[in-house]
Amino acid sequence: MVSTTKDAGVVFAYGTATGKADYNLSDNIANDQAKIIYYRLRSVDIDGKGQLSQPVSSEEIARRE
pLDDT tens across 4-58, in order? 777 888 888 777 667 788 888 887 766 666 678 888 888 888 888 989 999 888 8
Q: How far is CA 12 from CA 5, 6, 15, 24, 61, in A?
A: 21, 18, 8, 10, 21
Which DSSP letter does residue 22 get?
-
Amino acid 59: pLDDT = 84
pLDDT at residue number 10: 84
Q: Look at the chain and report how many structural domains it folds into.
A: 1
Residue-range definition of the domain harbouring residue 4: 1-65
Indicate the pTM of the whole model: 0.62
